[in-house]
Chains A and B, each alone.
Chain A
Amino acid sequence: MKEVAFYGDGLPYSSIEDLPGKLIVLEGTDGVGRSTHIQLLRKWLEEEGFGVSDTGLTRSPMTQPGLDAAKAGNTLGRLAMSLFYATDFADRLENQIIPALKAGFYVLSDRYFYSVIARDVVRGADPEWARKLYGFALKPDMVFYLRAGLPTLVARIVHGRGFDFWESGMDIRCANNLYDSFCSYQTLVIQQFDQMVDEFGFITIDATRSVEQVFQDLRTHIQALEGLETPAED
């Protein structure tokens, strides 16, 4: 990383001076193709000879079982959910992301805390509280915001994994059926992301285009990062 910087106090008890790896984040709502592009980027970077590590929300071995169980029940409140997700994030940051960056890996993060804040705020959290909560988070080298409007998302979800309870915001009952709730909820989440573009320096990528076009864009940006030369192409 060019410099090790945090959004707030960081991790005051640990001294992290140098992180030779790079932290690249792919953000965006459900159905914008983040996981597809993580796979493509991983393949490309490995072909270039870089070590790559990837991570995504709720993948902490410590919190994943408990968080899954909590989401399956019906007593998980808004505050407890925000804090449980923050625990998951902190565990992955300290036990996966930072060690990988220390070892010089490219870390590809499928979402970061921005998604969690967007969803928390839509559920009624105080935006200021939610931001301060993540004062321990490391500032990534690059954050791509894969942006697509509602029609694209609907098409991808219908032809993909189908409507899901949480992705449709059914816990807050945006509407009395999955489709309408999905549309209202995702619209609110997109608004939150749009507001964060300048605040967190997102690079907005038009994700309504083909996978190949989007991937070319991402690759060009990453090539421009310090330390990574343009791959030898004839």
Chain B
Amino acid sequence: MLQPNSYAGKLIVVEGIDGSGKSTQIDLLFKWLQSQKRSVYFSEWNSSELVKSTTRLGKKRKMFTPTTFSLLQATDFADRWENRILPLLKAGVIVVADRYAFTAFGRDVARGVGRQWVRNLYSFAIQPDIAFYFRVPLDIAVDRIMMSRAKLKYYEAGMDLGLSDNTVTSFRLFQQRIIDEYEQMITEFGFTVIDGTLPIQAQQQRVRRVARKILQDWRGLPVPDQIAGGS
């Protein structure tokens, strides 16, 4: 259970498996919000400088276990939470996040850690105002990934789970487990489900419609040139 948002800002997150198209959609949403003269900040999963060198070392030497992988990503999130997301939410900014705690609830549980254990790790975080879940059939997501990427990486493919010696087979099995977790989270966390097989523009229309609903009659932090009044 995540705490309700009691801060001045708004939090909008996107979730979905690799190849679901969520990053494209959050990028479009982010740019649209900027064009609407909203104070908006974008935060990406696993992007904190604090743990970057440790993550690189762990991946390179294949040192991770499901528990250390989970804890290190939670450290990354906590660092972004304490230094960026929380202060900006308090200031009245719209924070948009490409992946959020739900990614950990999906991937880490697919790797084998306990559902309640990983939920406790992130219990300091808030329930987003909107959590979009981009749902796509596994085959489509895998095709998209295989087209855009030369080679699947070891942890990305879930090779650490020992499900298969074949990277693509392992990736498929791993992603299916994540889908199963996401599906259970739809009601648990009130996901707004978007059909990720629709054309990009049609998806974005839906995304904006939902976002508009929570942003109407809401001011948030003004952007500086509005304060200056153009003078």
Q: Within 8 Å of chain B (Cβ to Cβ): is A76?
A: yes
Stretch in A78-86, A145-153, A223-231 with 4+ CB within 8 Å of B: A78-86
Judge whether A83 and B67 touch: CB under 8 Å.
no
Stretch in A105-113, A130-138, A204-212 with 4+ CB within 8 Å of B: A130-138
Apart from A65-B57, A67-B54, A136-B113, what are 12 other A-B pairs with CB-CB below 8 Å?
A61-B63, A65-B53, A66-B57, A70-B50, A75-B79, A77-B79, A77-B83, A80-B75, A84-B51, A87-B75, A95-B65, A135-B120
Expressed in whole angstroms, the minimum distance between the Cβ of A126 and any Cβ of chain B is 8
Chain A contacts to B: CB under 8 angstroms: 8-9, 11-14, 61-63, 65-67, 69-70, 75-80, 82-84, 86-87, 90-91, 94-95, 129, 132-133, 135-136
Partner of A136 from B48, B58, B67, B123 at Cβ < 8 Å = B67
Enumerate chain B residues within 8 angstroms of A86, measured Cβ to Cβ: 71, 75
Enumerate chain A residues within 8 angstroms of B81, measured Cβ to Cβ: 77, 79
Enumerate chain B residues within 8 angstroms of A90, measured Cβ to Cβ: 65, 67-68, 71
Expressed in whole angstroms, the minimum distance between the Cβ of B122 and any Cβ of chain A is 10
Q: Within 8 Å of chain A (Cβ to Cβ): is B220?
A: no
14 contacts between A and B (CB under 8 A): A12-B114, A61-B63, A66-B53, A66-B57, A78-B82, A80-B50, A80-B82, A83-B121, A87-B68, A90-B67, A94-B67, A129-B123, A135-B114, A136-B67
Enumerate chain A residues within 8 angstroms of B68, measured Cβ to Cβ: 62, 87, 90-91, 94
How many B residues face the partner with a CB closer than 8 A? 33
Residue of A nearest to B50 (CB): A70
- The total number of A-B Cβ pairs within 8 Å is 102
Bound: A90/B117 CA distance, A: 14
Enumerate chain B residues within 8 angstroms of A13, measured Cβ to Cβ: 66, 111-113
Contact A136 B78, CB 8 Å, known A11-B67, A77-B83, A90-B71: no
Judge whether A133 and B120 touch: CB under 8 Å.
yes
Enumerate chain A residues within 8 angstroms of B74, measured Cβ to Cβ: 83
Q: Within 8 Å of chain A (Cβ to Cβ): is B72?
A: yes
Q: Within 8 Å of chain A (Cβ to Cβ): is B32?
A: no
> Which A-B residue pairs are the 3 nearest by beta carbons?
A13-B112, A77-B82, A66-B54
